[in-house]
Amino acid sequence: DQQVKQNSPSLSVQEGRISILNCDYTNSMFDYFLWYKKYPAEGPTFLISISSIKDKNEDGRFTVFLNKSAKHLSLHIVPSQPGDSAVYFCAAMRNRGGKLIFGQGTELSVKP
């Protein structure tokens, strides 16, 4: 049972344009959501998070949107840069309890 799903395994975007990565979840008890970025041969790096009491959180070029009624979150990167090329994982946590449930990842490629 995949509780967190990233249905797009890959995404290709032109440099300077917006990248939108999507994530769906099934468990309504999730109350904290995170995005991680992973380069090859490295561990995931924390990018941005959002609590279920909010619907938007912004940090520089990165914005995460949460739609609780649709059980959907998205990560927007504006403008996209070639260095953003990586695999992006969304993750969810229940009751801020420490256990992260990850999606399968989306590989973003930003073309110069």
Partner 1 sequence: EAGVVQSPRYKIIEKKQPVAFWCNPISGHNTLYWYLQNLGQGPELLIRYENEEAVDDSQLPKDRFSAERLKGVDSTLKIQPAELGDSAVYLCASSFQRNTEAFFGQGTRLTVV
Q: Does 91 bind partner 1 (CB under 8 A)?
A: yes
Give me the least distance between CB of 60 and partner 1, in Å please.
Answer: 16
Distance CA 57, CA 98 (A): 20
State in angstroms the smallest separation of the CB of 49 from partner 1: 6
Q: Residue 24: which of 93, 63, 74 has the closest Cα?
A: 74
Is residue 30 a contact residue for partner 1 (CB under 8 A)? no
Question: Is 94 strand, coil or helix?
Answer: strand
- Give yes or no for residue 60 binding partner 1 (CB under 8 A): no
8 pairs with which residues across the strands?
none
- Tokens 């260095």 sit on residue: 83
Binding region for partner 1 (CB under 8 A): 4, 9, 32, 34, 36, 41-46, 49, 89, 91, 93, 96-100, 102-105
